[in-house]
Chain A
Amino acid sequence: MSTIQSPPAPGSTARSGTEPSGSRRRKRSARASDRGASRVFRWLATGAGALILVTLAAVAVFLVVKAWPALSMPSDELVKQVGLLRNSTSLLDYIGPLVFGTVLAAALALIFAVPVAIGIALFISHYAPRRLANGLGYMIDLLAAVPSVVYGLWGALVLSPKVQPIWAWLNETFGWFPLFGGKVSPTARVLLTVAIVLAVMILPIITAVSREVFLQTPRLHEEAALALGATRWEMIRTAVLPFGRSGVISAAMLGLGRALGETMAVLMILSPGFLYSFHILEAGQQQSIAANIAAQFPEANPIGVSTLIATGLALFVITLLVNMAARAIVARRKDFSGAN
């Protein structure tokens, strides 16, 4: 992103026509290099850039257009026509628990993933031998290459049976704590299992961005800390972590955006429910927006589809805000280019 401030200036010779002296001649030369096919090509390239903005706007517009029938219909009418809403009183009443479930799952995933990701990033940037660091970073990137449906399959068929005894123990020992309360599920197809799989899925992006920032810590700061007698951990705590704080925050928000929108892992692992419930060890309590859309979409009637698209619109707005905030923080750090 820094390069926007100081772009390579290939066109500077052709574009200096703004100077007042001898402007006529320069203008002609500017026109000469921007004629015919060159001009068409420039328009093509600019058009493609503009198309990106148009696409993003189109996503919002088309979602609103298709969600409008559900958004504009009076609540009682909508509840009558849409089977999905049989337990709700209005559209908002339907979206509410879904938003709650989505945010709860993503927040839990973030709590698990951020400390581990910071640890891995530090390991690769400051602990691992230089020669190994690249290969170890590649191993972490491999986690991102595994398709989400495979994580879903693994979470449902391999992880759930393995963690069930642990969840049962947690429920027995710490059942007084609201999160672990309720009746523990015998299959472990619950939100805590989902959160763990989501955490694995967002680890690579958080690690990649944090690693980039940690590597950019000024060498002099680190050496100064070491020269004052700091141990390696003290050097990291006093020089590396404060320098990388905003980068880590934005990395965490990027991970949050991913976790909010993840469909398959939630769809395949979680046994869904539509409650405002903090019982993450109990089955049939929560559901996320994305998984709900994927589960209900094939069988929904036209107005039901419209309702689901309305929930999708809510998800789009939430992730857009999270991502924009994250990118704005990254963009403010001038000499940091995102690791994406």
Chain B
Amino acid sequence: MTTIAPEVGNSELRALLKYVDKRRHRKNRIMKWLVVAAFVLAMAPLLSVSWTVISYGIERFNAYFLTHSMRGVYGGMDAGGVYHAIVGTIEITLFAALISVPVGLLTAIYLVEYGRGRLARWVTFFVDVMTGIPSIVAGLFAYALFAVILGPGVRMGAVGSVALSVLMIPVVVRSSEEMLRLVPNELREAALALGAPRWIVVIKVVLRTAVAGIVTGVMIAVGRVIGETAPLLITVGVIDSINFNLFDGRMMTLPVYVYGQFQQGLVPCTEGQANCIATVAYDRAWAGALTLILIVMLLNLVARLVTRFFAPKNLG
């Protein structure tokens, strides 16, 4: 008798354990599919954007396009390129990096090596807040700054660089700070114990160890600001010729070039007119977008390779 009772209990238990609440399981399955669907949904625009940019852009994307400016190009002419915009983008972005990297890196060093108390807390908080400044506001700030100093109506590449550096500094600070915090304390302590002064320790030991990560962070930051359009549109203006001088006159940049060609829209071509393509402006816009995306992807790729191959292996 005593052995049967548990047997009955067991079978009841087994039945209970095998019992499946259909509704709960259906809900579980539905939720799983919804979650997967969310991911697929997000991939759709990525695929669509990359597909259209490549398929529309490849048509005009050639050596001629990359080595000619828009000087003297009008109407539906089958000519014109992006060279002046590449020059402008590279110069303005490099100058922005020249401003942001020292400031951002020193701020990160301050936060990690020296930061105590209220100032450090405020800097951390406002660096985060600064990442959210709208790019157009950064452009207005740079415009206002130079208008107050040099008088109104200043249009030159350097103003755009200042605007971009406002957007770039917080990104550099965040990524460098993370990298510097990964440097083990034992390294600092060992160097200090050998009698090295503090600044030598920071430069030769801490920065030396974190250099790969910092370079990666800087490249990702450059990749983020290189596509900024709005601040450059209002500070640097547009031009059709090549301008190498950052401190004199308007410059063209790739994103603004794309926007400018888009704004031109369809060209009115008369019937049978030779050398007139109605969609030439849109074609140039797509090719410019392809150039821009290739530059951004290249920066991201190089940044990844730098981390992979130059990161110190024995951190942690």
- Give chain A's interface residues, CB within 8 Å of chain B: 1, 3-4, 7-11, 13-14, 33-38, 40-42, 44-53, 55-56, 58-59, 62-63, 65-66, 115-120, 122-124, 127, 136, 139-140, 142-143, 145-154, 156-159, 200, 203, 207, 231-234, 236, 254, 257-258, 260-264, 267-268, 290, 293-294, 297-298, 302, 305, 308-309, 312, 315-316, 319-320, 322-324, 326-327, 330-331, 338, 340
Contact = CB atoms under 8 A, between A and B. Distances in A.
**B contact patch SS:** helix
A48 B107 contact: yes
Contacts of A35: 197
B49 interface: yes
A136 B39 CA distance: 9
B113 A119 contact: no
A33 B189 CA distance: 13
B173 interface: yes
A152 to B, nearest CB: 7
B92 interface: no
A116 B42 contact: yes
A142 B115 contact: no
List the 6 closest A-B pairs by CB distance, nearest first: A261-B134, A147-B227, A119-B38, A48-B106, A41-B199, A323-B132
B259 A264 contact: yes
Contact of A157 (B105, B224, B282): B282
B1 interface: no
B25 interface: yes
Contacts of B233: 294, 297-298
Interface of B: 24-25, 27-28, 31-32, 34-39, 41-43, 45-46, 48-49, 52-53, 102-107, 109-116, 119-138, 140-141, 143-145, 147-148, 152, 166, 169-171, 173-174, 181, 185, 188-189, 192, 197-199, 202, 223-224, 226-230, 233-234, 237, 255, 258-259, 262, 282, 285-286, 289, 292-293, 296-297, 300
Contact of B255 (A46, A149, A207, A254): A149
Contacts of B128: 323, 327, 330, 338, 340
A262 B137 CA distance: 10
A292 to B, nearest CB: 10
Given A323-B129, A338-B128, A45 B286 contact: no
A316 B28 contact: no
B202 A140 contact: no
Contact of B45 (A51, A143, A147): A143
A7 B185 CA distance: 11
Nearest to B193: A13
B199 A38 contact: yes
Contact of B24 (A11, A149, A207, A231): A231
A289 to B, nearest CB: 8
Contact of A146 (B49, B106, B140): B49
A98 to B, nearest CB: 12
Contacts of B119: 46, 49-50
Contact of B136 (A49, A50, A293): A293
Contact of A123 (B39, B120, B121, B169): B39
B145 A58 contact: yes
Contact of A261 (B36, B111, B137, B185): B137
A290 B230 contact: yes
A316 B48 contact: no
B92 to A, nearest CB: 14
A55 B169 contact: yes
A151 B45 CA distance: 10
A263 B144 CA distance: 19
A70 to B, nearest CB: 13
A305 B164 CA distance: 20
Nearest to B238: A298
Contacts of B53: 150, 154
A326 B121 CA distance: 16
